Amino acid sequence: MSNREAWASRIGLVLAMAGNAVGLGNFLRFPRQAALNGGGAYLIPYFVAFLALGIPLMWVEWAIGRYGGQFNQSTTAGQFDRMWRSGWAKVLGSLGISIPLLITIYYCYLESWTLSYTFFSLGKTYFGSTDQGAMNQFLRSYQGVVEGGPFQSMLPAIGFWVATLALNLWVLYRGISGGIEKLAKIAMPILVIFAIILVVRVITLGTPDPAFPDRNVGNGFGYVWNPDFSLLGSFPVWLAAAGQIFFTLSIGSGAIQTYASYLKKDDDCALTGLATSSTNEFVEVVLGGSIAIPIAVAFFGLEATKAIAAQGSFDLGFVAMPVIFQKLPLGFIFGALWFSLLFFAGITSSVALASPFVALLKENLGLSRVTAILVTGGVLLVFGLPIILLLQHGYMDQYDFWIGTVLLVVFSLIETLIFVFAFKRGGAAANSGGGGFRGWFKNAGVAGWEEMNRGADIRIPRFFFYVIKILLPLVLAFLLIGWIWEDVTSKSSVILMRGVEGEAAMFQWISRGSILLLMTGIAILVVVAFRRRPQ
């Protein structure tokens, strides 16, 4: 009998998976992307990408995870090994452990900003920094990027980061149903309630300053939703929409497979997977699109908001929003609601991202729960500290680009190819296509399709079989080439480290080295685990 952990309820599973998907990007990245890429017209490539890329890949990941779970394999290393009998399978699968762990390393630092700003809002710490310049100085001072300002040292930033790590580790220590599922059942409803309160506050703002009648909420929503069809022919807009779907659904990291591995053999994947995706879309499109940008237009006007949006998501969330909260009655409460909802969105994602590594330590390497959590905490501390201390040198930018952009797509492509072309369970279906290339191609994807549909509470339209088999690998390859091309042709290329010199270049190379070190280390751990303990 297996004594593996399991989900206690279906709703808990849906909320935990949705919590994995819903993150800071739903509230900060989506509205900015929509406003910059054609407003309402952006929804056309966005929903096309959701259908052609997001949903199929989500189903693929759920099916991989549930299949591996039958053999007590919680990580993609063991899952790929069961799907594809090749020495490469577990090595490639180790990416599904190292990628989410690397994301956790820098994501927990961003998450700690939201925790600290919740307390800064309640304590009115940033009140007095009434314009964007002053608030920018507040943030940079907190990060230790500039000398002076309200923070004399980096101790507050490090303290909140350690507290964030401790909270994450505590949830992970409590396990799947006792920790992660309970967190999701509390955090997700709170997140939605806080977001609805903020949306209602935004909608009822009207025109905050009658001296500037153009600065109103209607124009704010107009900036997000008024369609600019001329941008529909633009390749970068389609690339941006595909990228947003990728990030928002948290696909390509390996975390979904670990969560899904705790399902039973005939538990539904199709409807539950769709439910998590649609919950994420509700939070993103309905709630995420209705807070930051509309309120920024209402207070700063359209042109200033365009400038803020162009600067990046974090300036919108951590510079512009606190300035606005200072202008609102009871702003400290709305500030606390905003940053705590971001924190809940963050922590439900980071525990998911750390769970494949914890599963590797516990289930494949046989460590006790306490030891596994301590080792995870040690890795997060050792690899996370340089991210905090070397932020101004672009140390984190390397993580964000290589892990958060390139490797997510690389891993998605690998898992899709294995799922479609390498996964065979034998039986009639797998052998009905005859010999040669034609027969091989005809059989490709059949085992995966059957696995995906087993126990399904909804019938997945057959059209998705062809989407997964043919379209998905092509789209992913195209996306990878597109993003690399976009980077190397930009003035601030991360790959070519354009404009990075001296000390910053050295630190960025160290950052790349640390990524490689961790990936190699985990690949070695996986090989050792599988040799020591026959899986």
Partner 1 sequence: MNLAGWIFLALGWSLATGLSVFCFYRILGKPKLQGSEEPKNPVIPTP
| Minimum gap (Å) between residue 22 Cβ and partner 1 | 12
Q: Which two tokens stand for residue 337?
A: 């609601």
| Minimum gap (Å) between residue 263 Cβ and partner 1 | 7
**∠ CA 106-111-115, rounded to 5°:** 145
Residues whose CB falls within 8 Å of the CB of residue 291, separated by 6 or more in sequence, listed in order: 27, 31, 195, 198, 199, 202, 338
CB 157 within 8 A of CB 388: yes
Give the DSSP per-residue string, 315-347: HIIIIIHHHHHHHSTTHHHHHHHHHHHHHHHHH
Residues binding partner 1 (CB under 8 A) = 6-7, 9-11, 13-14, 39-41, 43, 47, 218-219, 221-222, 225-227, 263-268, 271-272, 274-275, 278-279, 281-282, 284-286, 289, 429, 432, 446, 449-450, 453-460, 462, 465-466
| Minimum gap (Å) between residue 370 Cβ and partner 1 | 28
| Angstrom distance (rounded) from CA 146 to CA 129 | 16
Closest CB to partner 1 among 111 and 267?
267
| Minimum gap (Å) between residue 278 Cβ and partner 1 | 4
Amino acid at 532: R
Closest CB to partner 1 among 13 and 380?
13
| Minimum gap (Å) between residue 195 Cβ and partner 1 | 13
Closest CB to partner 1 among 267 and 315?
267
Closest CB to partner 1 among 175 and 218?
218
| Minimum gap (Å) between residue 215 Cβ and partner 1 | 14
Collapse the DSSP code of 2 into the 3-class scheme (helix H, G, I; strand E, B; otherwise coil) and give the result: coil
Closest CB to partner 1 among 450 and 486?
450
| Minimum gap (Å) between residue 187 Cβ and partner 1 | 18
With tokens 């680009």, the residue in question is 401
CB 28 within 8 A of CB 317: yes
| Minimum gap (Å) between residue 31 Cβ and partner 1 | 12
Longest dimension (CA), the chain: 77
| Minimum gap (Å) between residue 247 Cβ and partner 1 | 17
Task: Give exposure, 103-114, as e/b (b: 16+ Cβ within 10 Å).
Answer: bbbbbbbbbbbb
Please give the DSSP secondary-structure letter assigned to residue 363. Answer: I
| Minimum gap (Å) between residue 227 Cβ and partner 1 | 5
Closest CB to partner 1 among 425 and 512?
425
H-type helices in 360-454, by residue range? 369-389, 395-401, 408-417, 427-430, 436-443, 446-453
Please give the DSSP secondary-structure letter assigned to residue 255. Answer: H
Closest CB to partner 1 among 81 and 281?
281
Closest CB to partner 1 among 271 and 497?
271
| Minimum gap (Å) between residue 444 Cβ and partner 1 | 11
Closest CB to partner 1 among 212 and 466?
466
Closest CB to partner 1 among 119 and 282?
282
Closest CB to partner 1 among 88 and 466?
466
Closest among 535, 135, 44, 103 to 335, alpha carbons compared = 135
Q: Which two tokens stand for residue 464?
A: 């998705």
**Residues, the chain:** 535
Q: Which two tokens stand for residue 107?
A: 């994501």
Q: Which two tokens stand for residue 67?
A: 């299949």
Q: Which two tokens stand for residue 428?
A: 């009639």
Give the DSSP per-residue string, 455-518: T-SSPPPTHHHHIIIIIHHHHHHHHHHHHHHHHHTSTT-TTTTTT--HHHHHHHHHHHHHHHHH
Closest CB to partner 1 among 27 and 411?
27
Measure the N-to-C terminal CA separation of the chain; round to a whole number of Å: 15
| Minimum gap (Å) between residue 454 Cβ and partner 1 | 6
